[in-house]
Structure 1
Amino acid sequence: MDLDDSEKPAEFVEGLAKGLAVIEAFDAEHGEMTLSEVARRIDASPSSARRSLLTLMALGYVGQKNKRFHLRPKVMALGSAYYVSARIEELLKPELKRIVDTYGDASSVGTLDGPDLIYIAHVSVQHARRASAVIGARYPAHATSLGRVLLAGLPDAALDDYLEKMTPRALTRHTVTDKDALRAIILQARADGYATTVDQLDYGITALAVPIHGAGNEVVAAVNSSGYTGLLTPEKLVEERLFALRAAATAISATIARYPVLSAAIGP
């Protein structure tokens, strides 16, 4: 997430920020890049990007082959440190497994990071090729059921700011990109206490999500249940799974309240 100079603390370390930006620049579409490609991705000069890459190579986080850079497995340690310290496996996955054991398909927990939805827990029995909900995956919040529920939980001013700054991206031909339409959808999710999506993130995904609340009743995360569009409708999801999904959200909220580390890890 880019910060304005006014948002940076006095002891902000630009070098560290640049190094983390380099790591985040690699994704499914940019699995390996040249120096100039990395520089463009992080909006930095080639010399600055080179220093970051060489530092990360020395630390074992980045490798190089034929003038193209790629991430090394050591990067996974950064994500696993969060996963282990927040006790995600122990505290969140049991509820997701209960949902999947009952209905099949998949269930996830996610939270907001700027304009994106980040998956922090996931259980699935699905094996088809489609947009992945693996831990740490991030997608535009407006195109996911989890993201829409989380956006619905924002204060009005924060929602207005999000809609003003966002650039809606069509991930399928069904993805809603009109800002007025998105506002109406998000406000309806706020009124309903849940959100549904059909083929918004990827073809074949129909999903239902509900909010997870923190100790102050603020929305800190969301949990969903998703399946194949050809076998499910939003109405069927709501009818069959909404009660169980809300029960899971209540149980996760109670777990968050009991474990301060988890609360701090997924809270605002």
Structure 2
Amino acid sequence: MNKTSASQRPHEGDRDFVESLARGLEVILSFTRESPEMTLKEVAEKTGLSPATARRSLHTLRKLGYVGMNGKRFLLRAKVLSLGSAFLNSMNIKDVADHFLQEVHEEFHDAVSLAVLNGNHVLYVSHISSMRDNRFRARIGYSLPIYCTSLGHVLLAFSDPKAIETYFDTVSFERYTSRTISSAEELQSALDFVRRNDHAAALEQLEYGVLSVAVPVRSPDGDVLAAVNCSGELSRANLDTMIETRVPALRKAADRIAAALERHPALLHSIQSGNVDSPSGIGADLALGGTIATP
């Protein structure tokens, strides 16, 4: 996971910034699939906070019911889910996206997702799973790197040029398969493909045997707000077949989601403010769900 130390945050000089709140969220997000239980020392090392500061944050979170203990090791409690569910409930995700994604899933039996940019990652805000047992099983709140996902290619390709430049300056490439994009040149080629074709295609980027296609969700003004994708198995369809069959269905779903966003402006404003307010211009790096280990 990308980690920003306490001395490298971009809010210096902002007197309204609540440092203690930021530290508490940072502590929550330090727990991952790879580190579900940690000692005080491990939390401090992972967050870049001093042991004293990490201890106070953990103590407060424990008093509030968000953190528990197993002996001398800290762990998250289920109450943390309420933070994510507050977003889902207030933003009408079910009405905006789930039904349309479900229709695509029922037609092709692929995993189908809606995602937005979130720092150097894509964040899943709606997801219909397939039955396959894959290494990176997405879910709502899941976060994956931009550079090796079809969703990320769509979202980055149509971002503000300064945000794209910032991303290329900060991204670290990690190989998950021999096909994983591992250079700026390869990624730029993938973005050019998206701009020419208005869809992305990814083959075995995160794991072997898995491929996906994605299309943008646009506002009436043409701004890209989110992306939707299908993820399937190479044993069932090749990339050309995915593009020929799934892309038209995804475009239809994306249009219907865009129309639904107009009827639910709170979610639309949430997505737009996330893209505008973040220091990078791509989206704040906050996800109350799982993230895979990234450089």
d(CA) in 2 for partners of 1:125 and 1:212?
22
Poorly superposed stretches of 4+, deviation over 4 Å: none
Alignment partner of 1:213 is 2:218: yes
Give 1:25-36 correspondences, 5 Å limit. Answer: 25-36=30-41
Equivalent position SS for 2:103: helix
Match of 2:112 in 1: 107
Is residue 109–residue 130 contact of structure 2 (8 Å, CA) maintained in 1? yes
Unaligned runs of 5+ in 1: none
Cα shift readout 1:157-207 (whole Å, capped 9, x = no counterpart): 221111111111222332111111111111221221010111112233210
Unaligned runs of 5+ in 2: 276-295
Q: Which residue identity lines up with residue 24 of structure 1 in the other structure? A: L
Match of 1:5 in 2: 11
Alignment partner of 1:66 is 2:79: no
Cα shift readout 1:116-156 (whole Å, capped 9, x = no counterpart): 11000001232414202100000111111101100011122
d(CA) in 2 for partners of 1:129 and 1:241?
20
The two structures have a TM-score, normalised by structure 1, of 0.95
Alignment partner of 1:172 is 2:184: no
d(CA) in 1 for partners of 2:148 and 2:235?
19
Q: Which residue identity lines up with residue 127 of structure 2 in the other structure? A: H
Q: Which residue identity lines up with residue 174 of structure 2 in the other structure? A: R
Cα shift readout 1:66-88 (whole Å, capped 9, x = no counterpart): 21111000000000000111111
Is residue 177–residue 208 contact of structure 2 (8 Å, CA) maintained in 1? yes
d(CA) in 1 for partners of 2:132 and 2:182?
29
d(CA) in 1 for partners of 2:225 and 2:103?
21
Is residue 11–residue 17 contact of structure 2 (8 Å, CA) maintained in 1? no
d(CA) in 1 for partners of 2:222 and 2:253?
16
Alignment partner of 1:243 is 2:248: yes
Match of 2:188 in 1: 183
Equivalent position SS for 2:147: helix
Q: Indicate the RMSD between aligned Cα atoms, in angstroms.
A: 1.5
Equivalent position SS for 2:173: coil
Q: Which residue identity lines up with residue 206 of structure 1 in the other structure? A: L
* Cα displacement (A) at 1:251: 1.0
The two structures have a TM-score, normalised by structure 2, of 0.87
Cα shift readout 1:230-249 (whole Å, capped 9, x = no counterpart): 22211110111111111111
